C-alpha cells in the first residue's frame, strides 16, 4: 500500500501534539531553524515582541567579526530572506512604519556582512534586493515625514559602499512625494557644491598628495550625489535634469544611451531619442561576439515611434547580418510584405552558412533554434569547428542527435579531438562519454559521406593517442 503524500493536508491530520514533536526534532541542533521558530512564536505575541526579537538578531549579526564561510553565507542569506518575509507578512499589515524601520535596519547590515564574506555569487546582494523590494511595496502606506525620510535616504546613500541602497529613491518615491524629493534634491545639490569633508578625504587616505586625494574624494562623493539627482529627476519626470547629470560624451556610452533614449521616448521626444542613439551606435566591430542588444533595441524603438518602417526593417536586417540575432530576423520577417519573407529566409540561411566564425553560426542555430540549418552547416564546415567551444557544441549535439545523428557525431568528434590533441586531461571523461555517444549513434547513420565511419575514426584515435591511458581507462570504465 502506498504511503500518504507529504503535504500540508496530511500533516494537519497528525494533530498539533505530533507536529510539535516532529518540529522540535527537526530543529534540534540547527540554530538558524530554532531562531526561525522562535521568531514565528514571537510574531503571535504581537508586533512589539517580534520587533524586539528581530532587533536582537540584527544586533547579533552586526557584532559578528569572524569570516563567514560560503556554507554559512548561504544559511545567513536564507535566514535574512525569511526575516524579510516575516516582517512583510506579520508586521507590515498593521504597523507599516515599524516594518519599514526593521527592513531599513536589515539593509544597514550589508556593509558588515560584505566585509566578512565573499559574495561573488551575489547571495547577500540578492537578499538585500528582496528587502528593498519589500520597502517599495510598503512605501505607499508609510506615514513618515517626507523631509525626515529624505534626510534618512540621503545619509544612507552617502554611506553605502556595497550597493544595498542603490534603488532606494525609486523604491521610496511615492512615500517621499514632491516635498521629500525636493528636500533630497536640495541636500544633494548643497553637498555637491561644498568642499570635501574630512570623512570624504579619509576614504582616500592612501593617496599621499593632498590635491589628488581631494580630487578623488570629490569625484567619489559626486558619483553618489549625481545618482541621487538622476533618481529624483526620474521620479519627477524631468528628463532634461536627468540628462544634465551626464556629459555629452557619456550619453554616447552603450551603458547609458539606451536608458536616456527610453526616457526621451516616454516623454514623447522620439526625434531627440533617435539623435542620441545614432550618436551612440558603434561602427563596424572586428569582434563577432561583441554585442550591444540594449542599444539596438533602443534604436528600433526610436524608429518604430517615428513610423520609419523601412528604416526599421533595414536596421533589423543589419543586426541579424552582423550579429546573427534570431529575434531581429523574426521581427524583420514579420514586417515584410506578403511573399517576400520566403526570399528573405533563404538569404538569411545563406548568411548563416557563410558566417565567420562557424562557432557563432552554430550558436545562432542553437538559439533560433534551427536544427536542419545546423546539420547542413556542420556537415559542410566540420573541419573548421573548434572543439573547445563545448558550451555551444555540447547542447547542440544533444539536440541534433535524434534527427541528425551524423551532425551530432561530428560535433562530438570535434570535442574529442581537441581534448586529446591538446592533452586536456581534465576533459578526458567528457571525451570518453562523447565517444560512447558516437558509438551509440553509429547504428542510426546509414551514410557518413566524405566523413570517416565510426570504425575508421576509432582506429585513428587508437593509432594517434594510444599512449593516453587515462582516456582509454575512462572509456573502458564508462
Q: Point out the least confidently predicted range of 34-38, 116-120, 262-266.
A: 34-38
Residue 208 forms part of a structural domain = yes
pTM for this predicted structure = 0.76
What is the tens place of the pLDDT at every residue in 264-316? 999 999 999 999 999 999 876 667 788 999 999 999 999 999 999 999 999 99
Domain shared by 369 and 382, yes or no: yes
Looking at residues 442-451, what average pLDDT do you find? 95
Domain shared by 359 and 473, yes or no: yes
Domain shared by 231 and 208, yes or no: yes
Residue 24 forms part of a structural domain = yes
Domain shared by 84 and 156, yes or no: no
- Choose the final residue of a domain: 222, 245, 268: 245
Residue-range definition of the domain harbouring residue 446: 355-477
Domain shared by 225 and 118, yes or no: no
Looking at residues 184-194, what average pLDDT do you find? 96
Residue 111 forms part of a structural domain = yes
- Choose the final residue of a domain: 189, 221, 245: 245
Domain shared by 197 and 122, yes or no: no
Domain shared by 368 and 469, yes or no: yes
Q: Point out the least confidently predicted range of 183-187, 201-205, 305-309, 401-405.
A: 201-205
Domain shared by 450 and 367, yes or no: yes
Residue 3 forms part of a structural domain = no
Confidence tier at 110 by pLDDT (50, 70, 90): very high
Q: Are 418 and 386 in contact (CB under 8 A)?
A: yes
Residue 287 forms part of a structural domain = no
Distance CA 58, CA 106 (A): 7
Residue 257 forms part of a structural domain = no
Residue 1 forms part of a structural domain = no
Domain shared by 237 and 122, yes or no: no
Domain shared by 139 and 152, yes or no: no
Domain shared by 139 and 187, yes or no: no
Grid coordinates standing for 390?
Answer: 563545448
Describe the crossing of helices 96-107 and 70-86 by its angle, rounded to 10 degrees. 170
Domain shared by 53 and 155, yes or no: no
Q: What is the number of domains present in the chain?
A: 3
- Choose the final residue of a domain: 245, 274, 295: 245
Q: What is the 3-state secondary structure (H, E, C) of the chain?
A: CCCCCCCHHHHHCCCHHHHHHHHHHHHCCCHHHHHHHHHHHHHCCCHHHHHHHHHHHHHHHHHCCCCCCHHHHHHHHHHHHHHHHHHHHHHCCCCHHHHHHHHHHHHCCHHHHHCCCCCCCCHHHHHHHHHHHHHHHHHHHCCCCHHHHHHHHHHHHHCCCCCCCCCHHHHHHHHHHHHHHHHHHHHHHHHHHCCCCHHHHHCCCCCCCHHHHHHHHHHHHHHHHHHHHHHHHHHHCCHHHHHHCCCCCHHHCCCCHHHHHHHHHHCCCHHHHHHHHHHHCCCCCCCCCCCCHHHHHHHHHHHHHCCCHHHHHHHHHHHHHHHCCHHHHHHHHHCCCCCCHHHHHHHHHHHHHHCCCHHHHHHHHHHCCCHHHHHHHHHHHHHHCCCCCHHHHHHHHHHHCCCCHHHHHHHHHHHHHHHHHCCCHHHHHHHHHHHHHHHHHHCCCCCCCCCCCHHHHHHHHHHHCCCCHHHHHHHHHC
Residue 272 forms part of a structural domain = no
Amino acid at each position: 500500500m502506498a504511503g500518504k503524500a507529504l503535504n500540508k493536508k496530511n500533516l494537519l491530520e497528525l494533530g498539533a501534539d505530533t507536529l510539535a514533536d516532529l518540529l522540535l526534532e527537526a530543529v534540534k541542533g540547527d540554530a538558524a531553524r530554532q531562531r526561525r521558530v522562535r521568531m514565528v512564536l514571537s510574531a503571535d505575541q504581537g508586533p512589539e515582541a517580534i520587533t524586539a526579537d528581530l532587533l536582537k538578531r540584527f544586533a547579533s549579526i552586526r557584532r559578528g567579526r569572524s569570516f563567514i564561510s560560503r556554507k554559512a553565507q548561504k544559511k545567513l542569506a536564507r535566514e535574512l530572506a525569511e526575516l524579510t518575509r516575516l516582517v512583510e507578512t506579520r508586521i507590515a499589515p498593521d504597523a507599516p512604519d515599524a516594518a519599514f524601520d526593521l527592513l531599513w535596519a536589515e539593509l544597514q547590515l550589508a556593509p558588515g556582512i560584505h566585509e566578512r564574506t565573499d559574495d561573488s555569487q551575489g547571495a547577500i546582494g540578492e537578499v538585500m534586493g528582496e528587502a528593498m523590494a519589500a520597502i517599495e511595496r510598503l512605501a505607499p502606506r508609510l506615514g513618515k515625514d517626507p523631509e525626515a525620510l529624505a534626510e534618512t535616504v540621503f545619509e544612507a546613500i552617502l554611506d553605502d559602499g556595497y550597493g544595498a541602497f542603490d534603488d532606494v529613491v525609486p523604491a521610496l518615491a511615492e512615500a517621499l512625494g514632491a516635498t521629500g524629493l525636493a528636500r533630497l534634491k536640495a541636500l544633494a545639490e548643497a553637498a555637491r557644491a561644498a568642499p570635501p569633508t574630512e570623512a570624504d578625504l579619509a576614504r582616500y587616505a592612501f593617496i599621499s598628495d593632498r590635491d589628488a586625494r581631494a580630487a578623488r574624494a570629490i569625484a567619489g562623493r559626486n558619483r553618489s550625489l549625481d545618482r541621487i539627482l538622476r533618481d529624483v529627476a526620474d521620479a519627477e519626470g524631468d528628463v532634461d535634469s536627468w540628462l544634465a547629470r551626464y556629459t555629452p560624451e557619456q550619453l554616447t556610452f552603450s551603458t547609458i544611451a539606451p536608458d536616456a533614449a527610453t526616457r526621451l521616448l516616454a516623454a514623447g521626444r522620439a526625434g531627440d531619442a533617435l539623435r542620441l542613439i545614432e550618436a551612440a551606435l558603434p561602427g563596424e566591430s572586428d569582434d563577432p561576439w561583441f554585442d550591444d542588444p540594449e542599444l539596438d533595441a533602443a534604436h528600433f524603438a526610436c524608429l518604430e515611434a517615428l513610423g520609419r518602417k523601412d528604416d526599421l526593417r533595414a536596421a533589423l536586417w543589419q543586426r541579424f547580418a552582423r550579429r546573427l540575432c534570431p529575434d531581429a530576423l523574426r521581427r524583420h520577417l514579420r514586417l515584410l510584405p506578403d511573399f517576400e519573407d520566403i526570399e528573405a529566409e533563404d538569404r538569411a540561411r545563406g548568411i548563416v552558412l557563410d558566417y565567420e566564425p562557424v562557432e557563432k553560426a552554430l550558436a545562432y542555430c542553437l538559439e533560433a533554434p534551427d536544427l536542419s540549418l545546423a546539420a547542413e552547416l556542420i556537415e559542410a564546415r566540420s573541419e573548421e569547428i573548434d572543439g573547445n567551444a563545448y558550451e555551444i557544441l555540447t547542447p547542440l549535439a544533444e539536440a541534433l542527435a535524434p534527427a541528425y545523428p551524423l551532425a551530432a557525431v561530428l560535433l562530438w568528434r570535434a570535442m574529442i579531438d581537441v581534448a586529446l590533441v591538446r592533452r586536456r586531461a581534465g576533459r578526458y571523461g567528457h571525451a570518453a562519454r562523447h565517444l560512447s555517444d558516437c558509438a551509440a549513434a553509429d547504428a542510426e547513420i546509414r551514410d557518413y559521406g566524405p566523413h570517416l565511419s565510426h570504425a575508421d575514426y576509432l582506429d585513428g584515435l587508437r593509432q594517434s593517442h594510444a599512449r593516453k591511458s587515462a582516456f582509454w581507462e575512462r572509456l573502458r570504465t564508462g
